[in-house]
Amino acid sequence: THRTPLPDRQTPPAGAPGAALSGAAVPRWIDRHDVLAAHLDLMCLRIAVRVAAGSGLRGTAVRRLAAKVAGQVHEAARRSLGSGQGELDAPTFEAVFPWGPAPAWIGGGTGWAPAVLAEGLLVPAGRGYRFAHEEFGDWIQGMHLDLDEALDTLVHRRETDPAAEPRLPVPHHRIGPVLQALLQLPRRHGTGRLGARLRELTGALDTGRDSWWAARLLSGTLLAVPDATPYRDVLRLLGDRINDRRRQGRDAPDELGPAFWTALPLPDAERLDLLRHLVRADGPPADAAPGVRA
């Protein structure tokens, strides 16, 4: 499994070259979405070139074929979500990427499966196939995840269909697509939508065994956003919840400990204000002399 950290920042700092030029467009730094989208485009083009080699396609026809390949890659992401392990079984893989002649509605040609494997977009995994790059796989699966249903199942334990068969527990290592679905909310719907989901997760921290998901989704999302400033109210609410736990003699989840608060992507003044809020509620150490506070 390959996992390479990718840039998160969407905008240049105020002092970046060109940021303050009068009349000039402010450059936008690339973020994780841009990098992964470019990787998808490149891989689809390379696969299309391989498939087109046997039919003599060139130029615009190859680019159209690359768009068809992208559609099949998204279909592979959708179908791999259903397995619970993020993989495609062999028959599903062949249905999406045929070994032999492909139907015209896919894009025609032959050898889609060999081309996909040769370019390393997917790799064999047990009896099936998975995306070779874990972070890319999480990102593209997150695009197709039903986030509301996932959070209902993993965190809130609401049964959306009472007549449905009971679901097997989702392995903890499959948190990646859920995190990516959360991180894509601001791009699609604005920061308000993500803020609402984060408030719901904060409220679920004390719901028993499913708080594992709430704590890790909160920490993973708030540390990965380019700027946590739009979520100050969530952070304040989260701090209040942690302080309540301390008053009850319970520790905060490890994922929401001091390292989390100091690593938040916030201006120093905002971070210090949150830390002061947490320290004030912490009370004196247990072995402090009477009248002495921490």
**Which pLDDT belongs to residue 279?**
80
As a whole number of angstroms, the distance between CA 146 and CA 164 comes to 17
Q: Note whether residue 269 is domain-resident.
A: yes
Rounded mean pLDDT, 230-255 = 89
Checking if the pLDDT of 86 tops 90, the result is: no
Identify the pLDDT of residue 164.
47
Report the pLDDT value the prediction gives residue 143, as an integer from 0 to 100: 96
pLDDT, tens only, 174-224: 899 999 999 999 999 999 999 999 999 999 887 665 588 999 999 999 999
If asked whether residues 150 and 118 sit together in one domain, one would say no
Which uninterrupted H or E stretch holds 79? helix 60-81
Is 138 within a domain? Answer: no
Residue 4 has pLDDT above 90, yes or no: no
Q: What is the residue-averaged pLDDT of the chain?
A: 83
What pTM was estimated for this model as a whole? Answer: 0.80
Q: Are residues 113 and 150 in the same domain?
A: no
In a domain, 211, yes or no: yes
Give the model's confidence band at 172: pLDDT under 50 very low, under 70 low, under 90 confident, else very high: confident
Q: What is the pLDDT of residue 47?
A: 97
Pairwise pLDDT comparison (55 vs 186), residue with the higher score: 186
Q: In Å, how far are 51, 97, 136, 272 from 68, measured between CA atoms?
A: 11, 11, 19, 50
If asked whether residues 149 and 94 sit together in one domain, one would say no
Mean pLDDT (whole number) for 266-284: 81
Lowest-confidence range among 91-100, 223-232, 245-254, 264-273? 245-254
pLDDT, average across residues 222-251: 91
| 113 and 149 part of one domain | no
Distance of CA 246 to the CA centre of its chain: 30
Enumerate the β-bridge partners of residue 190: none
Q: Residue 39: count other Cβ atoms within 10 Å of its Cβ.
A: 17
* Alpha carbon separation from 254 to 135, 200, 225, 258 (Å, rounded): 23, 19, 20, 9
Percent of the chain with pLDDT over 90: 57
| Residue 166 backbone class (left: φ over 0; alpha: ψ -120 to 50; beta: rest) | beta
In a domain? residue 259: yes
Based on the structure, what is the number of domains in the chain?
Answer: 2
Residue 115 structural domain: 32-132
